[in-house]
Structure 1
Amino acid sequence: MTSPTASRRTILAAIAALPLAGCAARAVHGTDAGGVERLDPALDRIIPRTAHVETIATGYRWAEGPVWNARDGSLLFSDVPANVIHRWVPGEGARPWLDPSGLAGPIPAEIREAGANGLAIDRAGSLVMGDSGSRTVARLDMATRAKTVLADRFEGKRFNSPNDVALAHGGAIYFTDPPYGLAGGDASPVKELAFNGVYRLASDGAVTLIDDGLSFPNGIALSPDERTLYVSISDPERPELLAYPLDAAGRAGTPRRLFDFRAGVAAKQPGLPDGMTVDARGTLFATGPGGVHVLTPDGRLLGRIATGVAIANCAIGAGYLYLASSDRIARIALA
């Protein structure tokens, strides 16, 4: 079987890029790009029956990390291999916003994905990122574009390639650190940690390891009450979504498996468990084989949203669910 690293990034990204190599991103409006599989009537209260998937921008090598900026009504998202963050504005389309988004200067051969990956906006309006190329968790001042490294090591060893981030109201940052940004993945000669971790970065800068036993931790999100941490595993041998209980101090307990994606992997549906988002009611929108799985907080599958290609991540904003899907950004209206 293809290695998990190759399955998650190398193959999917390469296939997505082939017909679009060298193309500039362009805005597309009203294009039907997929559909909704309704498995439970409760989905109608989340996604209207009249809603459809539309592509709003395309031409990317691997779209990731969407986040809605409510302050100016725009969507920011990463093109990780291209090392660019783009900004999409309704009625105007998408344009490059930050280049480079991650590692600046000549890119060494040891780095496979130089750009920023998962994005989040904190309560002060700054952009927090899993900076895959720079191997850090960083904060960006949206006005000046000045970047501040928040963490780059655990117990003296450099992170692999921080991937996705989730922000707690008190200032803590939860993040995942798979090896996808390194050429060679786990076999990379510059990989300093013997594991791929899930971490909590406290507001005082202290980094705490939550889990070092996951093969390829990837997407991460918090429940609205911040008592549950969700983490996806992008491993075809263990494609799962885990739920960790959190205590009042934000410390994680033993996780439970919330959802098993093995059936989708066996059916060779596009994608693996990856990024996710959670609405105010606690509904999870979790990417996986076949699209975004809409789940109740107890893991009941209500339906799936598909674009026909792998979906890496998603975000909610201004009444829509935005989908970073291979070479494109799509959206669907929410109830």
Structure 2
Amino acid sequence: MTIITRRAALAGMAALPLVPGLARAETLGSITRFDPALDAVVDVNAPIEVIASGYKWSEGPVWVRNGGYLLFSDVPANIAYRWKQGGGAAPFLTPSGLQGPIPPTIREAGSNGLGIDAKGRLIVADSGTRAIVAVDLATKRRTILADRYEGKRFNSCNDVAFGRGGAIYFTDPPYGLTDGDTSPLKELAFNGVYRLEPGGKVRLVDDSLSRPNGIGLCPRKTTLYVAMSDAARPHILAYPLGADGMPRGAPTIFHDFSEPLGRKLPGMPDGLKVDKAGRVFASGPGGIYILSPQGKALGLIAMPKATANCAFGEDGRTLFLTSSDKIARVRLKTPGW
């Protein structure tokens, strides 16, 4: 195992480009190699560059290829930001989630996970509205795609991933509700994982998880990954999918984060993304873990604060990270998409 510290990484670096609002581009964190296979993915000396900061809790990054910019959520602030190279970050959707006054029963009113569907729409896991919402990027017009299962309102939709034929998979923990599972707003007896069909039907994938959170699919769309932000079960689960996009058999544990959680590293299993080779880039205690298609930890992009999510962007070889109050990026050797 090789650990490259921030100081060592900085020692051989040329001056980084300036970022609006910062005197000089800040770097943080370090990259740890657990397995030699990491060397094909990222250089352990690559700097982790801060590109924006000052947020309450950054989440849900997505790169908009048709425009060349990053969108991300500040969930408690109810704002989605747009970042573009040379222009810095500025509010894009205000509010990003719940429209109108925010009642005391809602803890996180804003957008959470974001994605761009095949139609070019921004798909929002809207925590405050408790819905899956489509936003036209040009007009910013909102359309609620789903807000109920069997007539009962969702808890607080958290993250999204895209399956075959335009299906949307999403998770629905109670984080956005002030009182969580005991909230008077909670209508469902469970915290679910769902599949939203292109025609609008909502199908239940799993109702047995206490804290379903990040979600993603393998490149062939035959395996669904769900991260659990549960101290008792800090796992990423892998669900084999049938031709209809629904699970065939019980899920297996793809990766177990019990060991780093036991060392009290910052963060929990949260958001994840899958690259074109099937590697999973997953938030966990300590930062973003790079996992092989078989679930083996190849390395860790270690961050000093809890890191919620990540996304591939720019030319596909940049990984953007949302880490507490900051947005950072690191260059990869391999393309994410």
Task: Give TM-score scaled by structure 2 length.
Answer: 0.90
Q: Compared with structure 1, are the counterparts of its residues 227 and 28 closer, same or farther at alpha carbon in structure 2 (3 Å cutoff)?
A: farther
Paired residues for 1:113-132 under 5 Å = 113-132=108-127
Give the percent of matched residue pairs that are identical in Structure 1 and Structure 2. 56
Task: Please give the secondary structure, in 1, of the residue aligned with 2:259.
Answer: helix
Partner of 2:330: 332
1:134 CA drift (Å): 0.2
Task: For 1:109 and 1:238, locate their aligned partners in 2 and report how far apart those are by CA, in whole Å.
Answer: 30
| Partner residue, 1:293 | 289
The answer to whether residue 155 in structure 2 is matched with residue 157 in structure 1 is no
| Greater length-normalized contact order (CA 8 Å, ≥ 6 residues apart) | 1
* Aligned positions of 1:204-223 closer than 5 A: 204-223=199-218
The aligned counterpart of 2:136 is: 141
Mapped partners of 1:256, 1:28: distance in 2: 47
Work out whether 1:323 is the aligned partner of 2:321. Answer: yes
Counterpart of 1:118 in 2: which secondary structure? strand
Displacement of 1:212: 0.5
Q: Structure 1 residue 258 and structure 2 residue 244: aligned?
A: no
Aligned partner of 2:57 in structure 1 is: 62
What residue ranges of structure 2 are gaps of 5+ in the alignment? 1-19
**In the TM superposition, what is the alpha-carbon distance from 1:238 to its structure 2 partner?**
1.0
Q: Which runs of 4+ in 1 moved over 4 A?
A: 25-29
The secondary structure found in structure 1 opposite 2:165 is coil
Unaligned runs of 5+ residues in structure 1 are 1-24
Structure 1 residues 28 and 195, CA gap change in structure 2 (3 angstroms): farther
Partner of residue 271 from structure 2, selected from 269, 275, 283:
275
Equivalent position of 1:21 in the other structure: none
CA-to-aligned-CA distance 1:91-117 (integer Å, 9 cap, x gap): 111111110000011101111100010
Q: In structure 1, what is the Cα distance between the partners aligned to 2:21 and 2:279? A: 32
1:26, distance to aligned residue in structure 2 (A): 4.3
Whole-angstrom distance in 2 between the partners of 1:286 and 1:121: 19
| SS of residue matched to 2:261 | helix
Q: Distance in 1 between matches of 2:308 and 2:38?
A: 22
| TM-aligned CA distance change 1:28 to 1:124, over 3 Å | farther
Residue number in structure 2 paired with 1:8:
none
How far 1:50 sits from its partner (Å)?
3.6
Letter in 2 for 1:261: F
Q: Does the aligned pair in 2 maintain the 1:67–1:315 contact within 8 Å?
A: yes
Report 1:35-114 matches (<5 A). 35-114=30-109
For residues 12-70 of structure 1, what are the alpha-carbon distances to aligned partners after superposition, in whole Å with 9 as ceiling and x for unaligned? xxxxxxxxxxxxx9467631211100111111111124412111100000000000111
Structure 1 residues 191, 26: CA separation in 2 closer, same or farther (over 3 Å shift)? Answer: farther
Q: Secondary structure at the match of 1:150?
A: strand
Corresponding letter in the other structure for 1:243: A
CA deviation after TM superposition for structure 1 residue 168, in Å: 1.9
Contact map agreement 2:32 2:44 (CA 8 A) in 1 = no
Q: Which residue of the partner structure matches residue 314 of structure 1?
A: 310
Distance 1:265 1:317 in 2: 29
Is the 1:121–1:128 Cα contact (8 Å) retained in structure 2?
Answer: yes
1:157-182: CA deviation from partner (whole Å, max 9, x where unpaired): 00000000001241000000000000
Which letter does structure 1 place at the counterpart of 2:67? D
Query: Contact 1:28–1:55 at 8 Å: present in 2 too?
Result: no
Q: Tell me if the contact between 2:97 and 2:128 (Cα under 8 Å) persists in the aligned partners.
A: yes
Higher mean displacement: 120-129 or 58-67:
120-129
Deviation sequence 1:232-281 (CA, Å, 0-9, x none): 00011111100001112211132100111111111100000000101110
Q: Using the alignment, how far apart are the partners of 2:33 and 2:47 within structure 1?
A: 12
Change (3 A) 1:169 1:69: farther
SS of the residue corresponding to residue 44 of structure 1 reads helix
Report if the CA contact (8 A) 2:125-2:158 is conserved.
Answer: yes
Aligned partners of 1:273, 1:80: CA distance in 2, in Å?
18
2: CA distance between counterparts of 1:93 and 1:140?
Answer: 22
